[in-house]
């Protein structure tokens, strides 16, 4: 299959702590590391590990962190197509606590690709499936050329403006930044999926009813939750692109999310083909 992600990258500093510091408190990190991450990067890496040829259309700053991000993602088997931006590369600091939860502070403007950027938009017509995490309305319209288009509500402005039909919209039942009333989208998505961590999740098909799906057993102990949601969405994108029945596509997605939860950072334990 040919797969793509259209979206964003953040350079993330991860700090593992026993617990989050209280106001005014000093805590010592038990571990620290840095990676090119963010939802677009995480999803592209998961798709590549599932075995699909994966293109990533994004925007990166023309600075050291932007260049490091491009090199790192290329090393993960991703074909990176990055529009240059003069602004500093967006960064984030992520605390990983003793319960495996992630708490994120972002720094700087979110850099996303635009339809006016000199990126290989025409090649998207050959894609079996695309996951969209960020871009302008024109970028979303270009992504609609794929056979399957999945999106996150973090691309809210483009979703509201573009007026394209999504094959799936992936929401979080608990994260307020991953919410969007599907009724605001015209036309309505063909499928809306809501994830709910260890409780599994639910889905609603525009023309074929609703249901729920279970979580999947973890393949190891919990390490950290960073990247689980986008790994899930990437698994769903892969499954729909492979024309799996919906229960099988959701099972694959749940396995991707569960695997990510057992690794240090978003990439160490992502599901492989």
**Domain spans of the chain?**
2-21+29-261
Find residue 130's DSSP bridge partners: 4, 149
Closest Cα to residue 216, out of 177, 262, 176? Answer: 262
**DSSP string spanning 144-190?**
TTSSEEEE-GGGHHHHHHH----SEEEEESS-GGG---GGGSSSPPS
Average pLDDT, the chain: 96
CATH topology of domain 2-21+29-261: 3.40.1190
Average pLDDT of the segment spanning 50-72: 96
Closest Cα to residue 182, out of 151, 228, 146, 215? Answer: 151
Looking at the predicted structure, is the pLDDT value of residue 244 above 90? yes
pLDDT band at 179 (very low <50, low <70, confident <90, very high): confident
Q: What is the pTM of this model?
A: 0.96
* Residue in the structure block whose two tokens are 């996303």: 112
């Amino acid at each position: 299959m040919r797969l793509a992600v259209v979206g964003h990258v953040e350079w993330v500093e991860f700090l593992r702590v026993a617990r989050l510091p209280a106001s005014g408190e000093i805590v010592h990190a038990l571990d620290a590391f840095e990676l090119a991450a963010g939802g677009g990067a995480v999803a592209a890496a998961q798709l590549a590990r599932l075995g699909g040829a994966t293109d990533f259309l994004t925007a990166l700053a023309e600075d050291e962190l932007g260049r490091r991000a491009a090199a790192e993602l290329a090393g993960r088997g991703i074909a990176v197509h990055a529009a240059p931006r003069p602004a500093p590369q967006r960064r984030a600091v992520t605390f990983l606590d003793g319960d495996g939860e992630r708490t994120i502070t972002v720094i700087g403007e979110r850099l996303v690709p635009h339809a006016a950027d000199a990126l290989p938009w025409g090649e998207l017509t050959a894609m079996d499936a695309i996951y969209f995490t960020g871009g302008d309305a024109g970028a979303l319209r270009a992504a609609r050329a794929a056979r399957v288009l999945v999106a996150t509500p973090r691309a809210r402005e483009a979703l509201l403006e573009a007026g394209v039909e999504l094959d799936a919209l992936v929401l979080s039942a608990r994260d307020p930044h991953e919410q969007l009333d599907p009724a605001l989208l015209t036309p309505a998505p063909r499928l809306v999926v809501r994830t709910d961590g260890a409780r599994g999740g639910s889905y609603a098909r525009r023309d074929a009813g609703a249901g729920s799906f279970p979580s999947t057993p973890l393949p190891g102990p919990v390490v950290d939750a960073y990247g689980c949601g986008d790994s899930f969405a990437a698994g769903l994108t892969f499954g729909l692109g492979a024309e799996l029945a919906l229960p099988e596509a959701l099972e694959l997605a749940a396995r991707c999310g569960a695997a990510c939860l057992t690794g240090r950072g978003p990439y160490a334990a992502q599901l492989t083909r």
